[in-house]
């Protein structure tokens, strides 16, 4: 892989992060290295690369001006990926409390092949709350031989107790000019001949993430050979873009949720800008919608709905995360997740209750007043979860209702299995912890599938998503899914 091959080996090669590199080199030159760092910023901007250079620098026997020598035993071991004391952990796949405990148990031992143990925790925002607490204890009293480097694309998801114990560096999207220079250097060293205009287009497509741009360069070279023309490059950038937006648009039109989620995950996994991918998918859906409207095909309804849902996906809190797109796809295919209905009269509720499982622990029957309280509990629970892990909390928003709260149990009923599974699997720790905060005692989360009660009223014009769809050129249709009601609160 070209990106790995041309990964910078020293601070002076790191592209577009001068403010970070300068501060680190000064700290190294004056022997003022911190014991915990937090590297925050978009993907593909050099966080892991800089972390590995820092790991070399704190262990290098021939440090010069804050730069590692890349020749001594330590530097070579790290460059080969063979240093036992550089411990890299991907928090996305090792996110539980046991993983952090294991790390804590081992940290006390002296380093074996380097001077200092360096722990590099990538995607650290993925840690569970319990794991964060375990990590916090280590950060409070780290052994002198250990250095922590935490890296994240989602700074806002890191608890303040963690950030306050780290020296923080913000990695920025890399300026276009710097990206072009680096691409040109790599192309030259690889023996490619790529016109400047084409390099500029590739760099622009990377949108500040050098890794994405280098990956594109590699794909283009494998497609067209080492001397692609500007036209070929532009064409290939179009192809890279079109293929999956078309696929996703087709999957949404066919209401194939599995395929939609698969594409969203794949795009995010490739490090592409998922917000931009979503906008391009909306463009594709709109074209299909216009054609469907012209030909009066029955797909108009599902397309209007899909455009509205995707237009409502909010990536501001999670720029690199596929979750907003996944939620939008789920809503587009399954129908909108509606907020809990206003408290229904007990009679109305029991009339509907015949069709659904009504197993409540201890057979407790809720009074209407109590139900109002439970719905506001759910609101508060969602808000608290959102403060800690907004991406996970999104699966809780308007997707469920409280079925029971007892001394030991919090039972939530979900309208769609996908929301239920997300919360039961990934969100359990978060929900149980926040519920305990609210209730003052620990509870176990139980989930079940329920049918959605009819909303008490519908706004006449279909709410903000329909407005967004109209803004995008969608026309109101007579048949098709019902308009989405206003959510109880707007995120601003």
Dist. CA 212–CA 459, nearest whole Å:
43
Q: Provide the minimum distance between the beta carbon of 162 and Zn ion in the complex, in angstroms, as a whole number.
A: 30
Q: Provide the minimum distance between the beta carbon of 12 and Zn ion in the complex, in angstroms, as a whole number.
A: 15
Taking the CA atoms of the chain, what radius of gyration do you get in angstroms?
26
Dist. CA 306–CA 286, nearest whole Å:
9
Among 29, 33, 34, 72, binds Zn ion (CB under 5 A): 72
Dist. CA 289–CA 280, nearest whole Å:
14
- Tally of CA atoms within 13 A in the half-sphere of 63 that contains its CB: 20
Binding mask 171-200 for Zn ion (x = CB under 5 A): ------------------------------
Q: Is 69 in the site for Zn ion (CB under 5 A)?
A: yes
Dist. CA 269–CA 21, nearest whole Å:
27
Based on CB atoms, which residue is closest to Zn ion, 60 or 310? 60
Who's near 422: CB < 8 A, 6+ residues apart? 392, 395
Residue 128 contacts residue 163 (beta carbons within 8 Å): no
Who's near 137: CB < 8 A, 6+ residues apart? 104
Q: What are phi and psi of 230, to 5 degrees?
A: -60, -45
Among 57, 58, 75, 469, binds Zn ion (CB under 5 A): 75
Choices 26-34, 64-72, 359-367, 419-427 (CB under 5 A): range interacting with Zn ion: 64-72
Q: Provide the minimum distance between the beta carbon of 19 and Zn ion in the complex, in angstroms, as a whole number.
A: 24
Choices 74-82, 91-99, 202-210, 472-480 (CB under 5 A): range interacting with Zn ion: 74-82
Choices 69-77, 429-437, 448-456, 476-484 (CB under 5 A): range interacting with Zn ion: 69-77
Q: Is 107 in the site for Zn ion (CB under 5 A)?
A: no
In terms of C-beta density within 10 A (0-12 exposed, 13-18 middle, 19 or more buried), how is residue 194 classed?
A: buried
Q: Is 60 in the site for Zn ion (CB under 5 A)?
A: yes
Based on CB atoms, which residue is closest to Zn ion, 75 or 282? 75
The secondary structure of 234-290, three-state, reads: HHHHHHHHHHHHHHHHHHHHCCCHHHHHHHHHHHHHCCCCHHHHHHHHHHHHHHHHH
Binding mask 3-42 for Zn ion (x = CB under 5 A): ----------------------------------------
How many residues bind to Zn ion according to rule CB under 5 A? 6
Q: Is 113 in the site for Zn ion (CB under 5 A)?
A: no
Choices 26-34, 57-65, 235-243, 389-397 (CB under 5 A): range interacting with Zn ion: 57-65
Based on CB atoms, which residue is closest to Zn ion, 69 or 290? 69
Based on CB atoms, which residue is closest to Zn ion, 70 or 349? 70
Q: Is 79 in the site for Zn ion (CB under 5 A)?
A: no
296-331: string of b/e by CB count within 10 Å (b at 16+)? eeebbbbbbbbbbbbbbbebebbebbbbbbbbbbbb
Which residue ranges make up the site for Zn ion (CB under 5 A)? Answer: 60, 62, 68-69, 72, 75
């Amino acid at each position: 892989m070209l990106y790995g091959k041309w990964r910078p080996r020293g601070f002076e090669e790191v592209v577009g992060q001068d403010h970070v590199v300068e501060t680190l080199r000064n700290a190294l030159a004056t022997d003022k290295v911190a014991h915990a760092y937090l590297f925050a910023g978009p993907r593909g901007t050099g966080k892991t690369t800089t972390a590995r250079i820092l790991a070399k620098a704190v262990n290098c026997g021939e440090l010069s001006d804050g730069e590692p020598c890349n020749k001594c035993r330590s530097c070579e071991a790290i460059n080969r990926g063979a240093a036992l004391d550089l411990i890299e952990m991907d928090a996305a796949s090792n996110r539980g409390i046991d993983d952090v405990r294991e790390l804590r148990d081992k940290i006390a031992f002296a380093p074996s092949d380097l001077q200092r143990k360096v722990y590099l925790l990538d995607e650290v925002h993925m840690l569970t709350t319990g794991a964060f607490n375990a990590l916090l204890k280590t950060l409070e009293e780290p052994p002198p031989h250990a250095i922590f480097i935490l890296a994240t694309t989602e700074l806002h998801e890191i608890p303040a107790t963690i950030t306050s114990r780290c020296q923080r560096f913000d990695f920025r999207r890399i300026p276009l000019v710097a990206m072009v220079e680096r691409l040109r250097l790599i192309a030259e060293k690889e023996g490619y001949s790529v016109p400047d205009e084409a390099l500029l287009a590739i760099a622009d497509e990377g949108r500040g993430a050098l890794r994405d741009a280098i990956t594109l360069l590699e794909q283009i070279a494998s497609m067209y050979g080492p001397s692609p023309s500007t036209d070929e490059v532009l064409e290939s950038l179009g192809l890279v873009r079109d293929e999956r937006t078309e696929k996703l648009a087709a999957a949404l039109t066919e209401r194939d949720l599995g395929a939609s989620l698969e594409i969203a995950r794949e795009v995010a996994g490739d490090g592409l800008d998922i917000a931009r991918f979503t906008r391009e998918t909306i463009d594709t859906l709109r074209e299909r919608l216009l054609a469907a409207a012209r030909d009066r095909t029955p797909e108009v309804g599902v397309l209007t709905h899909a455009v509205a849902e995707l237009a409502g996906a909010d990536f501001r809190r999670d720029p690199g995360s596929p979750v907003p797109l996944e939620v939008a796809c789920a809503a587009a295919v399954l129908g909108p997740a509606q907020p809990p209905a206003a408290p229904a009269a007990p009679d109305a509720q029991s009339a509907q209750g015949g069709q659904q499982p009504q197993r409540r622990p201890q057979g407790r029957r809720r009074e209407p007043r109590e139900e109002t309280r439970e719905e506001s509990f759910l609101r508060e629970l969602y808000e608290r979860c959102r403060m800690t892990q907004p991406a996970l909390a999104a699966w809780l928003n308007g997707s469920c209702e409280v079925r029971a709260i007892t001394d030991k149990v919090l039972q939530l009923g979900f309208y769609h299995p996908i929301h239920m599974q997300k919360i039961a699997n990934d969100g359990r720790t978060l929900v149980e912890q926040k519920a305990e905060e609210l209730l003052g005692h620990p509870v176990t989360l139980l989930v079940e599938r329920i049918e959605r009660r009819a909303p008490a009223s519908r706004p006449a014009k279909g709410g903000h998503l329909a407005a967004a769809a109209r803004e995008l050129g969608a026309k109101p249709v007579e048949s098709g899914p019902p308009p989405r009601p206003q959510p109880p609160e707007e995120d601003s």
